[in-house]
Structure 1
């Protein structure tokens, strides 16, 4: 009788892992991670605030609503917060922390930065809410990135683009939404995967997913 055992075959996981129950039961590591991610991305936001003007002017010279493309990088934090922590409020909290941190060195937008952070975070949060906080793949990231844009666009209509006609405003909102999906959603998803692959998210579902993918 043979004693040779057939190696177990690991079946790749289908779907995303949810956060540990209860979903509203935030752990200390969740709070600290949102604060860390928001702070790091807030510094990046501040840097983009210094660099975005040249590309924005170039796009505006072609077609003013194209400036919506340069607004997309400011939507990343909500996507990353939601993908990593996977609890209600994580996307909003991460985006708000990033907005506050980006304000600290001083920005040309002042307190409006915080308003934008709240609106962008709410939009990303709605994306994860629509999926029942149960899907966190690329599709979820694209949805959250896209939905981070509309509320911000409506706000900007009233504050920054007051001299535009409604046609330009609508096109701007559509461009910002599309760019939010591709830029914020795409970068957010890639950044989360990179952090998980590097072992930085071992306490989170994304880290477990990365470990399982390596074991297959």
Structure 2
């Protein structure tokens, strides 16, 4: 607000004018009224009822599951070398190479954000990876169910309301314990309990870092590319860019 004295027809007479100038808000980019748009804290929940799956939700989880299934099948062909090297160094370290198979449930949950999404995405991935044929046969589906259930439990514990990096890491970590126990009975029968427990711990940590961390980064990358505009993560990215 500025006050200026200007001649008004005779000496000594003045008028007072008030000028209001709109200036950009340096912190938010807004102008005029001083209203601000604060950065969002927390995650955006799925729209409507949590159990109200939309057609786009079903199609997207199917697409994600199929894409991960192809990737899982490819990893099944390639992981043997790294797994053998880690196994020779210390057998339980093979939990590191098992962690990528936990990612589908994490990403499915982060994108769809509805009960059952993490489990369904992981199960579809397991089924698709079986189609070309795998060395594990039907046990692949069992693993998919156990891994997806673990990720689902993580999102359930968070009330399907948190989907940040921490939530992704928790989902990746909880995808591991049920799978580890199953593998003790099927693949690692000759190990002592100390090795089994260490394998479970390594798989859990690797799940948090690899499946959780990389799954979160992949989800954000897809959203930034515009592929997830119909989902809450797409809105979160748009809001981040607008601030």
Interval containing the TM-score (normalised by the shorter chain)? over 0.9
Q: Is the strand fraction higher in 1 or 2?
A: 2
How large is the Cα RMSD of the aligned pairs?
Answer: 0.9
- Which residue of 2 is the match for residue 46 of structure 1? 73
Q: Give the Cα separation in 2 of the matches to 1:18 and 1:135.
A: 8
Match of residue 166, structure 1, among 193, 199, 216 = 193
The runs of 5 or more residues in structure 2 that have no matched partner are 1-18, 23-31
TM-score by length of structure 1 reads 0.98
User: Does the aligned pair in 2 maintain the 1:78–1:94 contact within 8 Å?
Assistant: yes
> Which consecutive segments of 4 or more residues in structure 1 shift more than 4 A?
none
1:7 Cα deviation after fit: 6.5
- Which residue of 2 is the match for residue 150 of structure 1? 177
Q: Is the helix fraction higher in 1 or 2?
A: 1
Q: Deviations over 1:156-194 (max 9, x none)?
A: 000000000111000000000000000000111000000
Match of residue 101, structure 1, among 115, 123, 128 = 128
The answer as to 2:45 corresponding to 1:26 is: no
Match of residue 78, structure 1, among 81, 93, 105 = 105
Q: Give the number of equivalent residue pairs.
A: 216
Q: 3-state DSSP class of the match of 1:72?
A: helix
- Which residue of 1 is the match for residue 144 of structure 2? 117
Q: Deviations over 1:36-61 (max 9, x none)?
A: 00000110000000000000000000
Higher relative contact order (CA 8 A, sep 6+): 1
Q: Give the Cα separation in 2 of the matches to 1:21 and 1:55.
A: 45
TM-score by length of structure 2 reads 0.87
Flag the structure with larger Rg: 2
